[in-house]
Structure 1
Amino acid sequence: MAWLNKIMVIGNVGTDPEMRFTPNGKPVTSFRLATNRFFTASDGERKRETEWFDVVTWDRQAESCNQFLTKGQRVYVEGRLRTRSWEGQDGQRRFRVEIHANRVIFLDRRAVSELPEGEPPEFKEAEGTIGPEELP
């Protein structure tokens, strides 16, 4: 029997990424991600439902997320769900489901909060062409 644990979400980074290191020196970056779903309620009112995800990245991806992601940026995250548990200060067992990302794609260049309202980001077409010998 085959098993599958995979999640793919597109949303906005809700907190600036926070990088720390394991005892072995491995970089780990975490951030929160918000996704929105818009729907019309039975009374005809337009509503928004927001889901929050805790995202964890490792190694070079952790370094990239820490360096280039900021709150408000739109990203695609792909990974697997993992449940973490610990004992709280009150002695109660706590649980948190996290996305352990194996892929994070930055979908815009600037944080949404930096853009003027109602104005989409500007993307210019590249001028000229480059040959294969000019690629790094």
Structure 2
Amino acid sequence: MCNRLPPGRPLNLFIMSTIRNKVQLIGNVGNTPEITNLDTSKKVARLSLATNDYYRNQKGESVQDTQWHNLVAWNKQAEIIENYVPKGKEIAIEGKLISRSYEDKEGNKRYVTEILVSEILLLGSKG
């Protein structure tokens, strides 16, 4: 845990402020990451991540529930993804949820939720 508590802040408020909008996932990369080099010499990576949960249904059968997550990573994290993260690779990520809207080609408003990756850990071998 943290050694220093900011002056005048109760411990529970300090802890809660450090976990606000934090996402941690472990899963397998579902596509070849899309890497874009921007004019500003910045790099962005977009990829999908599959996480799996398992449970037993009413018949006692094992069921796998797969959730797909859209990840976005910038600069250093994007470089790591570009160089070391192929489709199928198991990774752990930490980041925060970002929701945004845009207009599609037909002028319809669309909404998307993504995870902005702040940390990445390479796990296992390629799927």
Q: Is TM > 0.5 for Structure 1 vs Structure 2?
A: yes
Bigger Rg, which one: 1
Q: Mind listing any 5+ residue stretches in structure 1 that lack a counterpart?
A: 113-136
Point out 4+ residue stretches in structure 1 off by more than 6 angstroms: none
- Counterpart residue identity of residue 39, structure 2: P
3-state SS, counterpart of residue 107 of structure 1: strand
Equivalence for 1:66: 82
Equivalence for 1:106: 122
CA distance in 2, matches of 1:23, 1:42: 55
* 1:32 is the counterpart of 2:48: yes
Equivalence for 1:87: 103
TM-score relative to the length of structure 1: 0.76
Determine what percentage of the aligned residue pairs are the same residue. 33
| CA-CA distance at 1:90 after TM superposition | 2.1
| CA-CA distance at 1:76 after TM superposition | 0.2
Bigger proportion of residues as strand = 2
3-state SS, counterpart of residue 117 of structure 2: strand
3-state SS, counterpart of residue 66 of structure 1: helix
Equivalence for 1:47: 63
Q: Which moved more, 1:87-96 or 1:1-10?
A: 1-10
CA distance in 1, matches of 2:61, 2:94: 32
| CA-CA distance at 1:21 after TM superposition | 2.4
CA RMSD of aligned residues (A): 1.4
Q: Mind listing any 5+ residue stretches in structure 2 that lack a counterpart?
A: 1-12
